[in-house]
Each structure stands twice: as structure tokens, then as C-alpha cells.
Amino acid sequence: MNPRLLVILSQIAVLLWLANSAVVATAAEPWSRFRGPNGTGQSDATTVPAAWTDADYRWKVELPGVGYSSPVVWGEQILVTSGNEEDAGRVLQCRNTSDGQLVWKRSFQSTTYKKHEFNAYAAATPAVDEDHVYMAWSTPEKFTLLAVDRSSGKTVWQRDLGAFTARHGSGASPMVFENLVIMAIDQADRGAVVAVDRTTGKTRWKTETPVTVGGYATPCIYRSDPAKPQLILSASGYGVIGLDPRTGKQLWDLEVFDDRVVHSPVLAAGLIVVSSGVGGRGTRTVAVRPGNPATGAKPEIAYEVKGSLPYVCTPVVRDDLLFLWYDLGVVTCLDAATGKIHWRERVEGNYFSSPIRIADRLYCTTRLGEMVVLPADKQYKPPTRIPLGARSNSTPAVADGVMYLQTISHLMSLGGE
């Protein structure tokens, strides 16, 4: 092959790799899963304010029950779940993004069970695509994954993926890849990743994983080669693992964790950032350089971060900056490629929500229901704080330049043209 052509092809491959390593939601892109496109929690929207009052909401509607999940958006529809604490019934609502009016609502019966006091019956965020909405929840007797028609709310298929044993309940969310719905099911002493056909619900593949403590992480896709994507998972027992998302075949693994994994893996500067923790505190945060079966490269730890580590809160990236949001109110800004700390500051508050980045600002909600807005900058600047009027453990969603916020009692719309 012509050497010049080889150089050009190599440059194209690098550009594709960079594009796929840092997916950012454009103003019109759907926010179709937990933390948006590929779980990055990023948007380039410029129409979301840095401060506001109740009078600035485009609309605000009351929600039934309690939901710790996050809203998802597709076109003119926003989907949100909640759970009834008395009978564990789940509710899925579809509302108009323009005015918050109800389009359809589905209720699903379930049974109560003992869960952690900080968990809720609606913990998993739904996923959505052009045809369906996918929803997951568990009881000790079964793990339910179902699809409903996005237009009507009618059930398309429903699966029982087996018994689920975990002292704290479940919380991981489904994701869509090509024609598959992928679900990580990490239990108290075992784990599995299941991929089902998005149109029929039939199992396409299932891979067992050596989990030792139940976890909550939702996978993401890593692309070093556009034709050979990797499904990235993180849990206790193995740490980080890469699978072929089309077949479930294991590509590599790196054992780095013994403790529980709650926050989801995030891509940063071609690396995978993951954490574990115990007792409400992060115990280890590492950036992993993934393996590459095509070249024989083995996975390795690129760097490790010490002190004030996230446990529940999934990190977020802006360009070459990585932001770690410690659950007890300390934010660390690092160089994403090297782990060099630029600053570490206390911003106060307790958090189960994960930060998202909108343009040049970070947004994260305290458990007491206060939105903390922090400049996503290499130099620390003090945050702005906005009361939301109710407690919240939910991560905001952003689509078409509008931010959607969910508290335990309300769903609100903010920003836009």
C-alpha cells in the first residue's frame, strides 16, 4: 500500500478514536440513557442558565411516588420513572418536553422487599430509542427487563432474567447498542451481563462475571477501532473488563477492586476512569489504559488518584480536564491524561447525584435538593447554589438546549431558546 495513504488512514483512525472517546451531546441529540450519550454526562448546550429562581422554569409537574432514577429524552418526549414505597409498584410516565403534559402513563405491579434506606424502588434510569422505552427493576425473586412502545406505552416484550440477591437492592440501568439492549446484573456474590434483541427481548448473549459484592455501574462503549467497539464494565471481583458488545466475548480484564462499585465507568483522554468504595466513601480511583486484542496490548493502570475519592458520583470530563466529585462535597480537578491534580476544593453538601457538564459549567444536585453549579475550569472558582424545593438523588438530563431536573416529588424544565 502507498505509504502516504497509510499515513492518511492512520490520521483518520486517530480522529475517529478521539471522537468516540469523548462523546458530547449536541444541542439536538437525544439524552437516551443514564447520563446521556455513552454515559458521558456532557452537553454543548449554551441555553441553560448558571443561576435561576422558580419563576424561570419552563414548566414544573408533580410526580407520583419516589424516584431516584434520571429522566431520558427522545424528540418531543421525556420519560421518567417513580416507585410507590408502600407496594413497590413502578410508574413510567411519558410527557411532552414543550409543556410537561402527560402523553401516557404505565403502572407495573411488584412486591416490596428489604432494601437499603438510601435506595428506592425506582433507581434504574430507563433507556430509549426511536421505537421503545426500556425499563428494569428487581425483587429478590426476579429481575424484570421490559420494552414498551414509545408512542403508546403498550408493552412490546417483558423478560424475567432470574432471581436477584443483593443486600442494598439494584440500581444499574439498561443501555442500547445497535440492535441490543444490554443490562449488567451485579448481585451479592455473582454477576452477569445480558444482551437481548431490542425488538423481541430474546437473549442474544449472556456472559458471567466474577462479582464478589453487588454493584450498580452502567456500562459504556469504548472505541479504539471504529469497527471493533468494546463494552466496558466495572465491578468488584474483577475491577474493569472489556467485552465484545456484539457477542459477549471477553477481550480483556484487569483486577483492581475488592470493594463495591457504584459509579459508572467514564472515558477520559483514551483512558477508563473507575472507582470502588465502602461505607459511603471511595476507597480507590484508577484510570485504566484498556487492552487491545488487535495489537496484543494488555490493560494497565495509567495512574491512581489518592484522597477524597468518589463512590456514588460518576466523574465527568471537559476537554483535557477530569472532575471527580466526592460524595461528601469535595471536588478534584485533574489532568485527564496524567492524573496531575490542578485543584481540590470543598464545595459542601452530600451527593448521590452525578455531575454533568453543560458547556463550561458543572451541575450536581445535593441530596437535600440544592443544585450546585461550578465552573468547569482549570482554575477553581466558587460555585453558585440554587434550591430545588425538594430532596433529590437524580442526575439531570439535557436535550435541545434544555435541562430537565427530577426531585423526589417534581420534574422541572429549564433553559432553551
pLDDT exceeds cutoff 90 at 72 = yes
pLDDT at 57: 98
Which residue reads 408533580 in cell numbers?
62
Ramachandran assignment for 283, one of left (phi > 0), alpha (psi -120 to 50 degrees), beta (any other): alpha
Nearest in space to 290 (alpha carbons), one of 339, 222, 239: 222
pLDDT exceeds cutoff 50 at 117 = yes
Domain ranges of the chain: 3-415
pLDDT exceeds cutoff 70 at 238 = yes
pLDDT tens sequence across 315-367: 999 999 999 999 999 999 999 999 999 999 999 999 999 999 999 999 999 99
Q: How confident is the model at residue 163 (pLDDT cuts 50, 70, 90)?
A: confident
pLDDT at 9: 39
Mean pLDDT rounded to a whole number for the chain:
90
**CATH classification for the domain delimited by 3-415, as one of 1.10.540.10, 3.40.449.10, 2.130.10.10, 3.40.50.720:** 2.130.10.10
pLDDT exceeds cutoff 50 at 211 = yes
Edge-to-edge strand list for the sheet holding 143-149 = 127-128, 132-138, 143-149, 155-160
pLDDT at 258: 84
Question: What single letter denotes the amino acid at residue 10?
Answer: S
Q: How many other C-beta atoms lie within 10 A of the C-beta of residue 353?
A: 27
For residue 19 the three cell numbers come to 471522537
User: Is the distance from CB of 132 to CB of 147 less than 8 angstroms?
Assistant: yes
User: Is the distance from CB of 65 to CB of 381 less than 8 angstroms?
Assistant: no
- Please calculate the CA angle 284-285-289 and round it to the nearest 5 degrees: 130
pLDDT exceeds cutoff 70 at 4 = no
pLDDT exceeds cutoff 80 at 171 = no
CA distances from residue 72 to 35, 127, 253, 289 in whole angstroms, order as listed: 9, 7, 31, 30
pTM above 0.75, yes or no: yes
- The whole-angstrom separation of Cα 54 and Cα 95 is 20
pLDDT tens sequence across 370-386: 999 999 999 999 999 99
Q: How confident is the model at residue 28 (pLDDT cuts 50, 70, 90)?
A: low
